[in-house]
Amino acid sequence: MAAEPFAIVEEKAEEAKPLRADAQRNRDRLVEVAAAVFAERGIDASLEEIARRAGVGIGTLYRHFPTREHLVEVVYRREVEALCAAAGELAQKHPSDVALEQWMQRFVDYIATKRGLATSLRILLTTNSTLFSDTSGRVSQALRQLVEAAVAEGTIRGDVDASDVLHALFGIYSAPDTPEWRDRSRRLVSLLMDGLRFGAAKSARA
């Protein structure tokens, strides 16, 4: 099951063809650097800067990502994936209610970095509807996993489900974009958790 020369499907590649070693290296590097640069300069950051910082030529960037949108999409998907993967890790390391709370705080942090980009991102998400449904599906799945575990273990009340919580988070997301947004949102998550813990079966089975 390791890397066989004739393996039809291999572990790393997204879909079809195996990339040459240097190509794969550069591609990974570009995505990583792009995430950093987009975060610090916004979604309109210079692609030439990204290439420069990644130590590759601009031509290489364009070969891997023919348009800015391609690059943004890959970065975005990667970040959503990391956010969702964190759900599993948190669930292992903490009691179920704490895992849920920490994940929601992380969700807030994640959204915070996207706030300024709202318009551009919204355009991307409406233009590319697959991206939207893929990622929002993935996020609510992660949340459901956490909520259901917490309900099953009795660390939060039983009369709510994942979509209730998702609604609450959506409220946070669509709050106006003031400077205090982040702090306010963190407090709202705490508040929400207090509400969720209230009336829970006190005995966690874990």
Partner DNA sequence: CACTAAAACGGAGGCGCCTCCGTTTATTAC
Partner DNA sequence: GTAATAAACGGAGGCGCCTCCGTTTTAGTG
Residues that bind DNA (CB under 7 A): 19-23, 25-27, 46-49, 55-60, 62-64, 66-68
User: From the centroid of its chain, how far is CA 17?
Assistant: 26
**CB of 42 or CB of 158, closer to a copy of itself:** 42
Footprint (CB under 8 A) of a copy of itself, residues 111-170? 119, 123, 126-127
Q: Which two tokens stand for residue 34?
A: 């792009």
By the 8 A CB rule, do 140 and 162 touch?
yes
Smallest distance from DNA to CB 46, Å = 4
Amino acid letter, residue 57? G
- Please choose which of DNA, a copy of itself, none residue 126 contacts, taking the beta carbon within 5 to 8 angstroms, the exact cut-off set by kind: a copy of itself
Q: Which two tokens stand for residue 68?
A: 């800015």
**CB of 13 or CB of 123, closer to a copy of itself:** 123
| Residue 57 CB-half CA count within 13 A | 4
Smallest distance from DNA to CB 39, Å = 16
Residues in binding contact with a copy of itself, number by CB under 8 A: 4
CA 177 to CA 182: how far, in whole Å? Answer: 9
Q: Looking up tokens 């992380």, which residue turns up?
A: 106
- What residue ranges bind a copy of itself (CB under 8 A)? 119, 123, 126-127
